[in-house]
Structures are given as C-alpha cells and as structure tokens.
C-alpha cells in the first residue's frame, strides 16, 4: 500500500513521470492559512521545496499567528499583488467558499501559475473551476488531503500532518500532465501517499468512508438526546447519556465536527451521500430483520464479517 | 452527577440505607473469572472487603492465571464444595450462559447466600432467575457494571476497572433491601457509581447508548466492505477502506467486539433494540430528507444540536 502502487490499483493506466529535477517553488500563495494550508506550507518549507510563502486569509489575528509561526513569510495586502509571480496557489478554504475565491483570483492568475486546492468534495470544486477558471484549467489540479483533525487554525498546523496520509488528486481532462506531476511531487515531499482518480470516484469513496460516518454520528447523537427520558437537549438531564460509555464516545467523536463545514460537505456531495445513506439503511434493515427473526447465527456471521474486515483493514494501514 | 444523586434522579423514591457496619465478605465465589469477575475480586480485595475468593471457570489455563494473579485464592473442584459457606456468588459469565449456570448452582445455594451478576441485559437475567432461582429470589440482586473494555480474560483484570464507572442494580420485588444494600456497598467499595432502576428501564437505556451503537458500527463496517469497488471482503483489495481515516476508525471501533457476545446481547434485548433501531432510522431519514431537499440551514441546525449535546455530555462526565 505505497503511494504509486495504490495509485496503480486505482488507475492501472497511470505511470508516474520520471522526475529529473526537484521542484522548488519560488513563490507559493496559500489562501486560507489554517490547519491544512499552514501544514502544507510548513511541510514544504521543511522539505526545502519552497522559497517564499505569501498568505491570504480573512482573520487578521490568524494570519499574524501564521506569520509568527513561520508558516508564511508575508501577509498579502491585496489579491493582485499576492498573486504576482506566484508559481503555485494553494486553496485551503472551506469547500463552500471555493467558487467565490476562484472568481476573485482568476483575473490575476498568470498563465503559468498552477492552482491546486484541498476541498473535501471534488465534483463541486471542478464545477466551480469550470465556471470561474475556464482559461486556466490546464494549470488547475484539484486535490484532497485526507487528513482530518479536531483542531483548526494556523495554531494547529504542523509539518507532519500529511505524513503517511492519503492525498487524492482528481485532474481534469484539460489539466496538463506537468501541472499534475508538479503538485504530486510537492505532496510527496510532504510525506503523503498520492492517488489519482476521477472527481466522481473520489466523491463516491469519501461519501462512504467519511461523509456517511459523519451523518451517522450526528444522527446517533441526536437520536440519543431525543430518546432521553425527559427529552431534554441538556446532557446533564439526560438519563440515557449518563450511562453512555467509551464505545458511545468513540462512535460519536466525529459528531463534534464543525456543523458549518459538514453542511457544506454534505450539500457538496449530496448525490453520492444520498446513495450511501440509502445503501446503509438497507444494510441496517437486514440486521434488523435478522434480529426480529431471532436469527442469532446470521447476526453472529454479520458481526464476525465486520470484525474480520476491520482487523484486515487495521493491519493494512501504514506504520 | 454523583452516584446517589443520579440514583435519586432515576428513582426519586429511593433513599440509601444508613450503613452502620462495613460489609466484609468471608467467602466470595466468582463464576467466570475474566475481565469483570477478576476485576471485581481484585477491587474488593484491595478495599479489604473480602477474606477468601473461590473461582469457577471453564478454561483451566485462565483459572491458573487468575490464581497466579491473586484474583482468587482457590480454583473450585466442583460447584457443590465451591458454594459451601459462600456469602456472595458473583456471576460474571456471558449473558447467554446465565440461565444454565443458575440451574447448575441453585441446588447448592444456602438460603443466606447472596447471588448477583454482571449481565449486559437484565430482563433476560431476571427471567432466568425466576425459572432457576425461584426459592432464592430474595437474595438475588441483578446487576450490570457498565464498563466495557477491548481486552478479556483474567489477564486483563485490574482493581480500578470500575472506578468512576456506572453500576446499575435492578432488584426484583422479591429482592430484600438488605441483599441490595450489601451488593451496593461492595460496588461502592470498587469505586463505582451505583444506580437502581427496573430491569426494563435498564434494558431500554443500554439499548440506546450501547446496543444500538454496536449494531450501527457492525452495519457501517459491513456496508463499506460491500460497497468496496471489487465487493471483496478483503480490506487489502478494498478501494474504499484504503481512504478511510481516523474518523472511520473510531466510528467502527466497537465493530471489533466479540460477535458471539453481541449476538447474545442483541437477542437478549431484542424488543428494546428493535425499537431503538426503528427510532434511529427515523432520525437518519429526517436528515436524508433535509439533504435531499438541499436544506442546508436545517442540516446545520441538526449537526450543531448533536455537537452541543455531545460537548455538554463530555463536560458532565466525572473526572
């Protein structure tokens, strides 16, 4: 399960280009210097792959922290000057804001400037690029580092965030092989395992292993709150939660995620997520029927299948 | 959220009896010296609440380990001699075996011997007691220490397992106040927070906060395996699992639980669990409809409600 092997697994036709030179970015512009943007900057700097990093962000305080932490070399005064001579632009903003940002930067992008992003859903980002970056698609490389974390903001960034993590790139037909190769090299320099696939396939996969589990966790938390003896929203007065243990805590951990971010992700990947919810409901209904029939053997087989698959999966993880 | 306060919350009529003397058990018999049985023995010994501990179990090897680890003082040769002069019998076997064990011990129980258990479902245990311990119900105190753990067996036992954990007692109408009080004192000596409620209420609560989450996790794991590109049961060949991260890992942690044990728990609490599954599916369907309607505001409100309730709950946990 190393990067290119797993890539081959996804897309047998893909062969990495032999890398003659080491890519060093002279000017990197990070738009949104939070956990992801800041960590990308720190990792590239540590790998000696970048000379100058300009940061753009909404929160002045967060940008000052990013500067103090060495994640960026300067805070941009305005987009035009920030993008001047930029070799790579990294969009690390909530996926819901991607289109708006693209609209703001498109006029100032030099033809040679490569643009990549870190959005959690890709078909939506590709659609936004088609509407706002049309002349620039050959240098647009959609990407998604699959590296969540509870914490956010420049203060949470660290150079090792992407080490051993999956980064999925979903190049468009228009995207040049060179642009994709350069972004691939930079993510590899961050220690990530790179895969390439269609935006559609990415969204299907993430709907199953990330978006669905989040919805299930939000629903479980709300269900238990509603089922609480006094129907109170206050966990202090909830008989059920008083008896919830570590299993429940882990099952609902991702229900602590940002409601705003997950609203955008769910809406951004609505079709694939609806399919996943429907398929999951079917799976759950099968178990429900076995239970209703008192078919202990069938239940035990399904439980054992789940446990075995999980053990296989855990063994297959790197490190 | 201290034991008796929370008990009062569950059963306002309950008042603890003033304890004049400290209960010391002269002979404790532990049937099933695994994680729960062994930890109960170690905790009572550490608290100076027991003089002699006899162990009964199927696996000779496990019993020798329990003896070597000081969890028991002797391995019983047979049930009759083991139960002779026993002051307390602690049943810590899988809930599916409880009835059978009760049938085996009933003939050898002295009228004064108190029997308690650690079964994860209580209505089933009460029913088993009514069929097999009929003459002995005044000294039978059904109990459930809500303290799961990945590991099992005598080797996993430790004296602090129950510290700060909930222990639910579900006395029968026939159960004497003295027997319930004695078992309460002993669990308090283990550092547990004691609650009393009906077996029915216990099963409803655990169905919501423990049994349902396990079923959901088993179903999620199986769903993702089935949805894997090649439909393979082998996680190594599963495109989806290759992109699963820490959120998925935590969401499915309890899918690593014992299939046999969870088959028994689900069957033992079938009615309440079916109700929970149905209510959960309704909750999930509400979210599905909001997503299908593209109602981002409603989704965000539900997500925020879940996150806030979880934060309240985490704050309310002891220590």
B53-112 residues touching A, CB cutoff 8 A: none
The shortest CB-CB distance from B243 to any of A205, A212, A241 is to A205
Instruction: Tell if the CB–CB gap between A218 and B306 is shorter than 8 Å.
Output: yes
B308 is a domain residue: yes
Segments of chain B scoring below 50 in pLDDT:
1-12, 229, 231-236
Domain boundary among B147, B171, B197: B197
Q: Around B233, how many Cα atoms within 13 Å sit in the side-chain half-sphere?
A: 7
Segments forming the whole domain that contains residue A24: 7-197
Task: For A318, name the nearest residue in chain B, comparing CA atoms only.
Answer: B242
Closest residue by Cα to residue A270 from B301, B299, B284, B292: B292
Q: How far apart are CA B123 and CA B172, in angstroms?
A: 10
Per-residue pLDDT of chain A (319 residues; tens, 9 = 90+): 333 333 334 444 555 555 556 889 999 999 999 999 999 999 999 999 999 999 999 999 999 999 999 999 999 989 999 999 999 999 999 888 999 999 999 999 999 999 999 999 999 999 999 999 999 999 999 999 998 666 788 999 999 999 999 999 999 999 999 999 999 999 999 999 999 999 999 999 999 999 999 999 999 999 999 988 454 444 445 779 989 988 999 999 999 999 999 999 999 999 999 999 999 999 999 999 999 999 999 999 999 999 999 999 999 887 6
Q: How far apart are CA A268 and CA A206, in angstroms?
A: 12
The shortest CB-CB distance from A277 to any of B195, B250, B284 is to B284
B1 is a domain residue: no
Same domain, B304 and B254: yes
A193-252 residues touching B, CB cutoff 8 A: 195, 205-206, 208-210, 212-227, 233-236, 238-252
- Per CB-CB distance under 8 Å, the chain B contacts of A284 are 215-216, 219, 277, 281
Mutation pick from A5, A279, A306, A307 vs chain B, by most beta carbons of B within 10 Å, is A306
Per the structure, how many domains does chain A have? 2
According to DSSP, the residues that pair with B220 across neighbouring strands are none
Q: Does A289 touch chain B (CB under 8 A)?
A: no
Cα of A188 to nearest chain B Cα, Å: 17
Mutation pick from A273, A310, A311 vs chain B, by most beta carbons of B within 10 Å, is A310
Q: Do residues A125 and A203 lie in contact, with contact meaning Cβ atoms separated by under 8 Å?
A: no
Residue B71, phi then psi, degrees to nearest 5: -75, -30
CATH code where residue A301 lies: 1.10.3660.10
Same domain, B153 and B299: no
- What is the gyration radius of the CA atoms in chain A, in angstroms? 22
Q: What is the pTM of this model?
A: 0.85
Mutation pick from A121, A150, A167, A227 vs chain B, by most beta carbons of B within 10 Å, is A227
CATH code where residue B46 lies: 3.40.50.720
- Per CB-CB distance under 8 Å, the chain A contacts of B209 are 224, 240-241, 243-245, 248
The shortest CB-CB distance from B208 to any of A10, A240, A313 is to A240
Q: Do residues B88 and B29 lie in contact, with contact meaning Cβ atoms separated by under 8 Å?
A: yes
B2 is a domain residue: no
Q: How far apart are CA A38 and CA A59, in angstroms?
A: 14
Same domain, A240 and A94: no
Same domain, A133 and A156: yes
B258 is a domain residue: yes
B119-158 residues touching A, CB cutoff 8 A: 146-148
**According to the model, what pLDDT value does residue A237 have?**
54
Q: Do residues B16 and B130 lie in contact, with contact meaning Cβ atoms separated by under 8 Å?
A: no
Cα of A153 to nearest chain B Cα, Å: 19
The shortest CB-CB distance from B277 to any of A1, A210, A284 is to A284
Cα of B76 to nearest chain A Cα, Å: 32
**According to the model, what pLDDT value does residue A228 have?**
81
* Long-range contacts formed by B293-297: CB under 8 A, 24+ apart: B294/A267, B294/A270, B296/A263, B296/A264, B296/A267
Same domain, B186 and B274: no
Same domain, B276 and B130: no
> How many CB contacts within 8 angstroms connect chain A with chain B?
316
B227 is a domain residue: yes
Instruction: Tell if the CB–CB gap between A279 and B248 is shorter than 8 Å.
Output: no
Domain boundary among A156, A176, A197: A197
**According to the model, what pLDDT value does residue B260 have?**
92
Same domain, B26 and B125: yes
A42 is a domain residue: yes
Same domain, A62 and A190: yes
Encoding tokens for residue B237? Answer: 């060949």
Mutation pick from A218, A277, A279, A290 vs chain B, by most beta carbons of B within 10 Å, is A218
A2 is a domain residue: no
Instruction: Tell if the CB–CB gap between B274 and A288 is shorter than 8 Å.
Output: yes
- ipTM value > 0.90: no
Instruction: Tell if the CB–CB gap between A209 and B225 is shorter than 8 Å.
Output: no
Same domain, B40 and B170: yes
Unique residue bearing structure tokens 């990792």: A43
A283 is a domain residue: yes
Closest residue by Cα to residue A145 from A72, A91, A68: A91
Same domain, B193 and B237: no
Q: How far apart are CA A50 and CA B216, in angstroms?
A: 46
Cα of A89 to nearest chain B Cα, Å: 25
Q: For B317, which DSSP code?
A: S
Q: How far apart are CA B310 and CA A91, in angstroms?
A: 31
- Per CB-CB distance under 8 Å, the chain A contacts of B265 are none
Same domain, B82 and B180: yes
Task: For A257, name the nearest residue in chain B, comparing CA atoms only.
Answer: B307
Domain boundary among B134, B164, B197: B197
Instruction: Tell if the CB–CB gap between A263 and B303 is shorter than 8 Å.
Output: yes
Same domain, A176 and A230: no
Task: For A237, name the nearest residue in chain B, comparing CA atoms only.
Answer: B9
Residue A149, phi then psi, degrees to nearest 5: -165, 145
**According to the model, what pLDDT value does residue A16 have?**
52
């Amino acid at each position: 399960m190393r990067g290119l092997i797993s890539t081959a697994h996804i897309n047998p036709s893909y062969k990495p280009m032999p890398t003659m030179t080491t890519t060093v970015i002279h000017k990197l512009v990070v738009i949104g210097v939070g956990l992801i943007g800041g960590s990308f900057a720190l990792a590239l700097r540590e790998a000696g792959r970048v000379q100058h990093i300009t940061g753009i962000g909404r929160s002045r305080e967060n940008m000052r922290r990013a500067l103090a932490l060495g994640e960026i070399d300067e805070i941009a005064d305005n987009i035009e000057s920030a993008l001047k001579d930029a070799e790579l632009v990294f969009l690390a903003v909530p996926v819901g804001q991607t289109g708006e940002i693209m609209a703001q930067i498109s006029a100032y992008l030099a033809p040679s400037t490569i643009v990549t992003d870190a959005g959690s859903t890709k078909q939506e980002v590709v659609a936004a690029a088609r509407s706002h970056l049309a002349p620039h698609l050959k240098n647009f490389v959609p990407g998604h580092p699959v590296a969540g974390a509870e914490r956010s903001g420049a203060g949470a960034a660290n150079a090792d965030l992407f080490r051993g993590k999956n980064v999925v790139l979903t190049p468009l037909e228009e995207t040049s092989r060179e642009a994709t190769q350069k972004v691939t090299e930079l993510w590899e320099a961050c220690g990530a395992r790179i895969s390439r696939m269609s935006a559609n396939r990415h969204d299907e996969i993430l709907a199953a292993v990330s978006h669905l589990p989040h919805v299930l966790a939000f629903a479980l938390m709300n269900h238990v709150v509603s089922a609480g003896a006094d129907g109170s929203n206050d966990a202090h007065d909830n008989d059920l939660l008083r008896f919830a243990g570590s299993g429940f805590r882990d099952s609902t951990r991702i229900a602590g995620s940002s409601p705003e971010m997950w609203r955008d992700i769910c809406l951004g990947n609505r079709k694939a997520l609806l399919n996943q919810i429907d398929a999951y409901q079917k799976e759950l209904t099968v178990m429900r029927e076995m239970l209703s029939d008192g078919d202990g053997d069938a239940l035990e087989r399904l439980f054992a299948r789940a446990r075995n698959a999980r053990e296989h999966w855990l063994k297959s993880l790197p490190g």
